Structures are given as structure tokens and as C-alpha cells.
């Protein structure tokens, strides 16, 4: 395929063309030429529209594909289509399927299904069998078979010995452990953030302490491993990654750990930057998520964590749920929001004065570094993994290509529109 992107503004801090408006010629999956007023043959496809921006392709570190086992909620094909619509060229899928991605057979199934899709699909394989938190999987075999990271996904590791030994296994091979911090004994039967609002609504609360205790525990265990293990190679990036942090104290704990030099990183779900616990006053089950929406002060702290670099990545935490799982009383409904198609628009619509380049770094360079993926940059001769977007365009999110519809944003007009992606030489989803 030959494609010319005409008069696009480059947003890529690693590129010599960062901030410039220029033409990009893509030929056979590579950026062949960058310049102004490039002349091309008539058979070259040209994308030319006002205020078009381009960046290296975005990656989402936390996606529940629901395939295999729950294909009525989502499957690999539909989740990849939703990711491309949302501007992503790569996604990391969680192991919480049926059967779980806990062996090379299931990992191979995902890898085969991912072939020919409009996005690259990477797998976070399970740490424990069935992601149940009991017995270890063959992590080293899975690592060599192509698992990009290890996580029990939506199931936080409760056993400290399991987490400790996982860090010890992964440290010598430069692997990555991704854990969602939650002491589940403190959140049992919880429905929302514990606070004034949960009391007013009569819903059992999930205390911030449940997340913060686990982060403190995991950091202590990480410190212990680094002090006792001897490896010829230091971690290239993070050894321990906290998924979907949600409280001010969590941000501060990770900030202090980074200052001490610990190889730790974290991400935040985009919806945590938009809502606080007062949003649940209407008992909308599409707003029921875990971790729950916290206080307004917590939301402000999350934005500050993005600003100062404590929070490394922004994720969708895409969790498809069918109508039967959501159209229930609030305390009976399942947790989760679909979010692949709206990550960028929510960041633009609700941005608290963070520069565009800094927000995109949380979707591009930094997560790729954490995941040990090759860096992408917009230069001649480099692979053309690109996202095209207009940060100022208004559009209405009136339909989803996901199989599930559990989004609180359907019907809303948002700012920041994805125009398309270029992945493996193919142009996908032109708005």
C-alpha cells in the first residue's frame, strides 16, 4: 500500500519533525519520505483534511477481550475493531477468559486469532492457573512462547508468597509483573468507594485503604527481592507494574518508590480521570467499576500524577459486559466499562491543562518502554505504525463496534476525534 498523509502535524517528542507540519509518504509499511508538497503518483491514496495530527501508534495496556469463553460479550475480531476505531495500533489482552490464558495452548489460540487483525495483540498471561491465585503457571515457558507480561488480570494477587516468587522468577529474564492492588477481604461485597456518598446511597463501600495496603505490601516485597537476588542484568524498565491505581495515597506511594530508584510503574484507567463517587447518585450500572470512582481529591491527585510523571500510562480498562450483566439492580450488576473507542476523546474533553504531547506519551512511548517493545518514531525508514487524529474536532459517540454496550458515554458529544490508524501497511478506520 502507498499512502500520503498531506499537511499533518507531527506529535512525537523523539522525532526531529516533532511539532512540524509536513507530508508523510508511507510505502509497504515504512515511512518512505517526509517533506513538504511531496509529489506522488495518481494511484497513491491521499489523506488530506484540516488540523490532521499524527503520532506513533497508541497502545492500550489493559483490555479484556472475553475470548475464548465469553464471545457473546466480545471476541478477538470485535475487540480489535474497537481498538482501531479508538486509535490504537496495539493492545495487551488480559488472561481472564474461559479457559484462562494460563498455558501455551490458549496463548497460541490468541496468537493465531490475532493474525491479520487491524491491531497488534499482545498477551498478559496468567501468573496462576485459571488466574485463581493458587498454583503457578509455567511462566518461563509462557515467557519464551511470547507472553509480554504476567498478571492475573482482574484478580489481584492476595498471597504475598506468590507475588514474591513471581518477582524472583521474572527478575532474571527481564519479565514484567502487572498487578491490580486490592485487599479483597476489605472490599468483600463492596459496590463503590467508601465515603460520604456511599453512606448517602446506602451502598457498601470499598475503602481506599484496600488499594493502598496492597501497594505498600508489593513495594516492600519488590524491595526485598532487589536486595536479596543477584542478576547479571538490571530490569530494563519496570519489574512491577500497578494497574488502574485510583487514590491519592497510591500515587504518593509510587512517587516515593520511584524516587528511591525502585523499578516500578503504574497506569490509570481513563474513566478514573473523568468521574468521582458523586457520579453514582443515579445508580447507573454503567458507572460501576473496580477500582471504584474515588473522591474529587483523588481524581485531582491522579491528574497531578500524570503531570509529574508518576503515572506512566493511561489505559481503557476495556471490560465488555452484556445487557444481562448490567441491566440489574446496582448491587447485582457486574463491574466494568467498555472504553477502547473513547480514551482519546475523554482525555481531550476533560483535560486539566496537560500538554497534548505529554498525554500521548502515556499512550505511546512510555507503555512501550514498560512492555519492552521496540520504540516507535516518525522518521524516514521507520515502520509506519501511526495514529491519525484531530484533537479539536467535536463528534458524537452514538454507536459502538464492540459487541457490548456498557458505556456511560454513548450519546455524548466529545472533543478529540480519531481519524484512523496505519498498522502493518494498512490504513484502518477513516472517520
Q: Is 277 part of the annotated catalytic residue set?
A: no
The helix (H) or strand (E) run that includes residue 389 is strand 386-396
Q: Name the grid cell of 128.
A: 496462576
Q: Name the grid cell of 111.
A: 496468537
CA distance to 108, 207, 322, 394, 408, per residue, from 391 (Å): 37, 36, 31, 9, 21
CA distance to 173, 183, 324, per residue, from 166 (Å): 11, 18, 36
Query: Is the Cβ–Cβ distance between 342 and 416 less than 8 Å?
Result: no
- How far is residue 263's CA from residue 257's CA, in Å, rounded to a whole number? 8
Of 276, 277, 317, 361, the active-site residue reads 317
Instruction: Give the 3-state secondary structure of 44-101.
Output: CEEECCCCCEEEECEEEEEECCCCCCCCCCCCHHHHHHHHHHCCEEEEEECCCCCCCC
Ranges of beta strands (E only) in 270-316 are 313-315
* Contacting residues for 246 by C-beta, under 8 A, at least 6 apart: 208, 211, 268, 269, 272, 291, 292, 293, 294, 298, 302
Q: Which residues are catalytic?
A: 317
Amino acid at each position: 500500500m502507498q499512502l500520503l498523509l498531506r499537511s499533518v502535524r507531527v506529535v512525537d517528542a523523539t522525532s526531529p519533525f516533532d511539532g512540524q507540519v509536513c507530508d508523510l509518504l508511507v510505502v509497504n509499511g515504512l515511512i518512505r519520505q517526509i517533506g513538504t508538497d511531496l509529489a506522488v503518483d495518481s494511484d497513491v491514496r491521499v489523506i488530506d483534511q484540516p488540523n490532521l495530527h499524527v503520532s506513533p501508534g497508541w497502545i492500550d495496556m489493559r483490555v479484556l477481550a472475553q475470548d475464548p469463553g465469553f464471545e457473546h460479550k466480545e471476541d478477538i475480531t470485535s475487540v480489535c475493531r474497537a481498538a482501531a476505531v479508538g486509535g490504537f495500533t496495539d493492545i495487551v489482552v488480559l488472561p481472564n477468559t474461559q479457559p484462562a490464558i494460563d498455558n501455551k495452548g490458549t496463548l497460541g489460540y490468541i496468537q493465531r486469532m490475532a493474525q491479520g487483525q487491524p491491531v497488534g495483540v499482545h498477551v498478559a498471561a496468567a501468573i496462576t492457573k485459571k488466574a485463581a491465585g493458587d498454583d503457578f503457571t509455567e511462566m518461563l515457558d509462557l515467557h519464551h512462547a511470547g507472553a509480554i507480561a504476567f498478571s492475573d488480570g482482574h484478580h489481584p494477587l492476595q498471597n504475598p508468597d506468590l507475588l514474591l516468587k513471581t518477582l524472583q522468577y521474572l527478575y532474571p529474564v527481564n519479565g514484567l509483573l502487572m498487578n491490580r492492588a486490592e485487599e479483597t477481604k476489605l472490599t468483600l461485597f463492596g459496590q463503590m468507594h467508601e465515603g460520604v456518598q456511599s453512606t448517602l446511597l446506602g451502598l457498601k463501600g470499598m475503602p481506599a485503604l484496600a488499594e493502598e495496603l496492597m501497594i505498600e505490601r508489593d513495594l516492600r516485597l519488590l524491595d526485598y527481592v532487589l536486595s536479596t537476588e543477584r542478576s547479571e542484568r538490571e530490569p530494563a524498565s519496570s519489574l512491577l507494574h500497578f494497574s488502574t491505581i485510583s487514590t491519592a495515597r497510591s500515587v504518593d506511594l509510587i512517587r516515593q518508590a520511584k524516587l528511591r530508584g525502585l523499578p516500578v510503574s503504574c497506569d490509570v484507567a481513563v474513566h478514573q480521570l473523568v468521574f468521582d463517587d458523586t457520579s453514582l447518585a443515579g445508580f447507573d450500572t454503567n458507572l460501576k467499576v473496580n477500582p471504584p470512582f474515588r473522591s474529587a481529591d483523588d481524581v485531582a491527585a491522579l491528574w497531578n500524577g500524570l503531570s509529574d510523571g508518576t503515572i506512566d500510562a493511561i489505559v481503557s480498562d476495556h471490560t465488555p459486559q452484556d445487557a444481562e450483566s448490567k441491566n440489574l439492580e446496582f448491587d447485582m450488576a457486574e463491574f466494568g466499562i467498555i472504553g477502547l473507542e473513547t480514551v482519546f476523546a475523554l482525555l481531550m474533553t476533560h483535560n486539566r491543562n496537560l500538554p497534548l504531547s505529554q498525554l500521548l506519551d502515556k499512550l505511546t512511548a512510555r507503555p512501550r518502554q514498560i512492555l519492552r517493545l521496540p520504540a516507535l518514531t516518525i522518521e524516514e525508514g521507520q515502520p509506519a505504525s501511526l495514529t491519525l487524529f484531530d484533537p479539536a474536532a467535536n463528534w458524537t459517540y452514538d454507536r459502538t463496534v464492540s459487541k457490548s454496550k456498557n458505556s456511560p458515554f454513548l450519546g455524548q458529544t466529545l472533543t478529540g476525534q480519531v481519524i484512523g490508524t496505519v498498522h502493518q501497511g494498512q490504513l484502518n478506520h477513516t472517520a
